[in-house]
Structures are given as structure tokens and as C-alpha cells.
Amino acid sequence: MADVGAPARPLAGPNSLEDLFAAHLEGVCLRTARALEACGYSALLVHSGSLLPVFQDDRTYPFEVHAPFKVWAPLLEAPDSFLYFEPGRRPLLALHQPDDYWYKPPALPQGYWTRHFDIHPCRDLDAARRVLPASLRTTAFLGDSLAELPTWAVADINPPRLIRHLDFPRATKSPYELACLRQASRVGTRGHLAAARAFEAGASEFEIELAFVGACGQREQDLPYNPIVALNEGAAILHYQVLETSLPAQRHSLLIDAGAEFAGYASDITRSYSHRDADFAALIGRMDRMQQALCAGVRPGVDWREVHLQAHRLLAGVLREADIITCGAEEAVTTATTRVFLPHGIGHLLGLEVHDAGGFMRSPDGGEIPRPEGHPYLRLTRTLQEGFVVTMEPGLYFIPQLLEAARADERSARINWRRVDSLRKFGGIRVEDDLAVTATGCENLTRDAFGAASAAA
């Protein structure tokens, strides 16, 4: 993760992060001014977040900055800092810089973005309040409900209508944000390549994760989410959270879902591998081709719900071709047989958060776009627009709970149980790329990063 000054090795030339950031901030100011006007506020005060204490202890959980704060600037490790914005004025940053010898306080930031802000180091919350305007009675506050807030007399705390007006346009990424997302993909790709080498060398789940974080140069708490590193049957657990330190008696497969972060923006990448089993490797190849076919259909104007349903239609063909089901592809979809093998959504918005905000919004003024019936876990239902960044992550899993439920109902006759039982030891397959929607199609941030790494090797 980038430090509080500037991300490592910023871009050079006319498309430098400095140049791109200036235009990005101008856009953030403009859309925030419109949101404030629409919702009846004169200014916005955004809290970076607080360190959360562990129950009955004086330790805290790792800090994670709030997304509405880091959309303004890549200040990622400054708890209890504030961003104040009033249309027509330079944004003000009250940087919490306590006088502390137990923990190192954040340094005064230096970097490409700092010249756009009035930055005030503040020892405590009282000092932060003194650098803000005397009256905050028409200012909306976003962030943790601090005990001091009643004395600050803000207009509203986390007003839902304003949050909606701010979250809806976040789906469309600026050129600066796209540059950060590309770099997050490059860093994540380095980690994935190292993890694949560790798997081939016989590493445990824990050792594979160490290879990933080492190649990324980021601590686990700096990553956008804890890596999913699942050997064998562990891949059947969608958010597998265990990192076994010992090796299984036999190695069959690896599923690794892991991303990196750059300037507050995330990558989200999944790859699956077979260990010396040609049949399972061929099945991974089928899923990879299916995933690429879905990626090829991404462009502005596409309803993401239709992408999700198309994934089930294509998966039905893969299942039939692999002799996992005995019925036709159309029947597998209409009878929900494909949902036994793919229970999650096909993808989600990506950006400042791994599952970025606004995935269901019909408009900033109200309304939600429903998920397709029978698909409760889809995280995005909007129609794609240029500038959206989404993940594309079809899967094929052998999940014991779902298989047993199918065995007990009418779907049982449509499944080749002998074939399924032979594949259970692999857990499952997921292939995930990050896609930026362009005017005519999409840019595959993940494949481009893997391609560049391969060319440089």
C-alpha cells in the first residue's frame, strides 16, 4: 500500500499521477457540490475513520480508512483526520498527528496530490475543530459518530440521501482512478505469479500466502482483503479463511483469490491450478475460455443481470461437455441445476472498495434495481457505462451442502454423481479478472498485467 506521501513510482509524462489527480479532484469537487446542493447542505466534512479497540483490551484492530475519505486523497493511514469541502474553496485537510511515543504518528504528507489541499497538522480532535469553520450548522458529516460531534453542531450525521448522491457516480472511474487500478492489477499479478510458483514447489497454504504478500510488497493488513488460498477441497468454500501451515497428504489443486492495493484502489484476481491432473486442468481451461467469452460481451449499455444469466447458460454447456450433468444446457438452467455449481454472483463493482458502492442504485434520487429471481447473491444490477470497473468471476464448485441438497430433490437425476464424486477432491474453480468498461468494449486490467509480466520475464 502506498504511504501517506505518494504511491511508489508514480507515472511520468503528460499522464502522470500528478496531472491525472488534478482533473480527478476537480471532478470530485464538482459532483460533491452538486450533491450538496441537491440535498440542502453548504459543505461536507468527512472523517477518515477511527482505530477500533479490541474488546476488553488496549489494542486496536488494523486501521482501514473510509472510502468517502480516500476518494479525495490517497491518505491511507491517518486515523481521526478530516476532509472539509465547501464549494468554491480549496479542500481543507485536518491531519491527525498526535504527540505519541507508543505508536508512530503519520508524517506530513508529501507527494503529487498535496498541493491541492490546505493541510493542517492537528494534535487532537479539539485542534481539528479549531481549523474548521466556526459554524458547521449547514455542514453534513460523514464518518464515525464521534462523542465530540454534538458539540460541533453539524447539520446531519451520515444523511442517507447525500450518501446516495455521492455513491452513485463513484461507479464511473476517472482516468486517475483507472491508472491506480491498473497499477493495483500489476502489483497483484506479481503476487499471483509468486503464489503459483510456491504451489508448484509444494508450499502450504500459509507459505503460498507469504509468497503472495512478499511479491506484492504489502502486509496482509495493507491488502484490500485477506487472501483466499485454498488447497484441494478448501476451494469449495467460497470465502475460505483458513491458512493451513501443514501440507495435505496429497495435493490436487489450488484456488487463490487475492488482490493488492495502490493509492487506495483495489485489484481482485482469482486463479485456479491443477497439480498434475490433466482432466482437472482441462476443466480449468474450459472455465477460462468461458470467462473470456463473458469478458468479450462487456460494453456500455449491457445489463449486468443479463451477463449473470448468460454465465449460467454458458456454465451449463461446460457442465454438459465435462459430463458433470446428464441433461441439456437449457434444462440445467431452467431447473436451477447450474446454481448447484455456481451459487454466487458473476461480479461486482471495483474501486476504492473491493465490493464498491452503488451496485443496485437505479439513480441518485432513489430506487433499487432488483436481482434476477433465484439469484440472491449478485452484487451488481446496473446497466454498464463507460468508466465502470467490474470483476468477472465465473466459478464451478463441488460444495457438499449444495450437492447434498440437490441429491435430495428432482435435480438429482440431472447430475452425474459418479463424475461429481471424482471431482470433489479439487474443491472447485474460479477465474476472475478486473475489467474497465470502454466506449466500445472493455479493457482487461488483469490479463494486461499478466501479459506485461510475461513479456518482461
Q: Which residue has the cell 457442465?
A: 319
Write the CA distances from 226 to 22, 92, 203, 367, integer angstroms.
Answer: 32, 33, 18, 32
2 has pLDDT over 80: no
Alpha-carbon span 419 to 455, nearest angstrom: 39
Output the furthest CA–CA distance in the chain (Å, rounded): 73
Residues 145-169 pLDDT 10s: 999 999 999 999 999 999 999 999 9
Nine-digit cell at 260? 493488492
pLDDT of amino acid 457? 81
Amino acid sitting at position 355: H
Q: Which of 215-248 are b and which e, b meaning 16 or more Cβ less than 10 Å from the residue's Cβ?
A: bbebeeebbbbebbbbbbbbbbbbebeebbeeee
pLDDT of amino acid 163? 98
Whole-model pTM: value is: 0.95
Query: What single-letter DSSP state applies at residue 357?
Result: S
> 17-170: what fold?
Creatine Amidinohydrolase; Chain A, domain 1 (3.40.350)
Residues 275-300 pLDDT 10s: 999 999 999 999 999 999 999 999 99
Write the CA distances from 225 to 213, 268, 452, integer angstroms.
Answer: 12, 9, 24
Alpha-carbon span 119 to 390, nearest angstrom: 34
Those residues with Cβ within 8 angstroms of residue 244's Cβ, 6 or more apart along the chain or in another chain? 204, 205, 206, 231
Tell me if 10 sits within 8 A of 162, measured CB to CB. no
Nine-digit cell at 34? 452538486
13 has pLDDT over 60: no
Write the CA distances from 337 to 247, 308, 340, 430, integer angstroms.
Answer: 34, 15, 6, 18
Residue spans per domain, the chain: 17-170, 173-456
Q: Which of 393, 396, 205 shows the shortest CA–CA distance to 284?
A: 396
Tell me if 49 sits within 8 A of 144, measured CB to CB. yes
Q: Which of 166, 102, 108, 204 shows the shortest CA–CA distance to 356?
A: 166
> 173-456: what fold?
Creatine Amidinohydrolase (3.90.230)
Amino acid sitting at position 440: T
Nine-digit cell at 254? 489450488
Residues 387-400 pLDDT 10s: 999 999 999 999 99
